[in-house]
Structure 1
């Protein structure tokens, strides 16, 4: 198991290095830099380039940047002078994280429930209802769904605040908005795997022993059907956080997405690269954790990783 973990860890570090390298060179391949404002005097532009190390050869900039990343230093923001990118991520990410884990809980709990319920009522009203919910969740983007939910439940009914404040209640509406797409994905996946499990011989055997439908589902169906869902939880959680940029903007959540959007227009190299690498590391870490956990749950995965030896 230790070799399996070390192998996955090395693959994760290699992937992160590739992403960091691509991000660096793609950013520096842009036709302009952050200091192309015609109002700036040439000597001021040059001084700023020297300050941020943009006067050095690209290869030297790359080596310096990689060394700094290894030390946890993502540079200093250009749009927010004097502020460390690492510190800004540390301060704003908890708000994005709070939104993300709430959305994940909503998506997982309701997604599994709807998926199992749809499978148990295959080609009946409940099954068709889950399909409709899945279609809505997948087809309507957050930028459209968010304002609709905010207007209906916030303005018309007054059930929820339309902007996020210090109360936990204000996070419910943006969490639901963010969760719907993932809820749809989980419910369809859970429906498919549950239908497959229900068709297995051991389920018929369990029923023949006198177990009720719900006992069979709880003892035999759920724990087998849920395995594919577990494999997507890590990437799903990371995608919820990285995909919360639009939702944060709609509901005025002062999270990491707010910084990301504002710094793109200003070509804030350190901030854009820092947030991109942070998001990439988050996704890779999520996948790594799921791989390791799944390796403990299902030993066949480790055996497959050894080439069947």
Structure 2
């Protein structure tokens, strides 16, 4: 197991290097940050001086290798928007808020989809199945920003049950988590239903039923565990979607995470912050996928990693 984890961690290195190159080139292609930093009446001499001080007068690939060398030394650059603070420190300071939001959204999705999918599968073509399927389609069709606005208007403004912005108490995370996790819950409900139906039609499940085992025992000890494999697979793959969706959700609820930080950095063309946010988010997604792979061995002991 240890060798497998180390091998997976080493495999992340070229992926991270590729991400640094892509985001570096995209940021450089988006525009000149000097135009944002200096007033409109700045002289050409001032522009050239600032470009030289930032290293922007060098060829792009030379800039990249300088940037990569700094990364290997732990230097992610200085933020232009936040008065020359370390981009890495600012991003890491905001990261727990995004992880809290993504974790809460993931919890919401699992708590809704797991029982809903099981109920739908065990009541195929009956009203619980139809209700779950209809709500799943509606949930997948709703954009998270629209749902967030509706939650704010109904439960925040009209009813006053929850705070509408910021991050201070556990109540602050409820509406953002539902806004971000609803679409995932809808997707996982349909997946759990289809996976469980497929397993319930297997011969070994029919054999267990024919032996006189109770329906609950057949479901929990024989069908559910195998049905969870594809469920957990998609759950891990959707971590990237949660991180991407957090950008919009954090903007709607003024949630102080790296998603909101990324929007602020894009608006001010803060290259160091943009690059750092993308790299950190990518590493989080890859670590989450590794964790999901390790969970397989807990769900199904037949799966072993060498």
TM over 0.5: yes
Counterparts of 1:40 and 1:160, CA distance in 2: 47
Runs of 4+ in 1 over 6 A off after TM superposition: 299-303
Tell me if the contact between 2:229 and 2:299 (Cα under 8 Å) persists in the aligned partners.
no
Deviation at 1:194, TM superposition (A): 0.3
CA contact (8 A) 2:176 2:253 kept: yes
Q: Secondary structure at the match of 2:35?
A: coil
CA distance 1:208–1:296, shift in 2 (3 Å): closer
Counterpart residue number, 1:217: 219
Q: Compute the displacement of 1:118 (Å).
A: 0.5
Give the structure 1 partner of residue 108 of structure 2. Answer: 106
Shift of 1:199: 0.4
Matched, 1:40 2:38: no
> Contact 2:199 / 2:223 at 8 angstroms: preserved in 1?
yes
Greater Cα shift, 262-271 or 115-124:
262-271
Q: Does the 8 Å contact 2:225/2:300 carry over to 1?
A: no
Structure 1 residue 107: Cα displacement: 0.5
Matched with 2:188 is 186
Q: Note the C-alpha offset of 1:72.
A: 2.9
Task: Report the aligned-residue RMSD.
Answer: 2.2
Q: Which runs of 5+ in 1 are unaligned?
A: none
Distance 1:52 1:172, change over 3 A: same
C-alpha separation in 1, matches of 2:191 and 2:296: 17
Aligned length: 303
Distance 1:286 1:146, change over 3 A: same
- CA displacement 1:224-247 (0-9 Å, x = unmatched): 111112223333234323321111
1:6 Cα deviation (Å)?
4.3
| Structure 2 counterpart of 1:126 | 128
Q: For 1:88 and 1:13, how far apart are their aligned partners in 2?
A: 23
On the 8 A contact 2:167/2:256 being kept in 1, the answer is no
- Superposed CA deviations along residues 160-216 of structure 1, whole A, max 9, x for unmatched, are 222234111121111111110111111111111100111011112222222222222
Structure 1 residues 222 and 295, CA gap change in structure 2 (3 angstroms)? closer
**Is this contact kept in 2: 1:242–1:279, CA < 8 A?**
no
Query: Is the aligned partner of 1:26 residue 2:20?
Result: no
Asked if the contact 2:105/2:178 (under 8 Å) is kept, the reply is yes
Q: Residues 165, 289 of structure 1: CA spacing in aligned structure 2 closer, same or farther, 3 A cutoff?
A: closer
**Partner Cα separation in structure 2 for residue 299 and residue 221 of structure 1:** 15
Counterparts in 2 of 1:72 and 1:181: CA distance versus 1, 3 Å: farther
Calculate the TM-score normalised by the size of structure 2.
0.91
Deviations 1:13-69 (A, max 9, x none): 221111111111222233x31112533332332232233221222222111111222
**Which residues of 2 match residues 237-252 of structure 1 at below 5 A?**
237-252=239-254
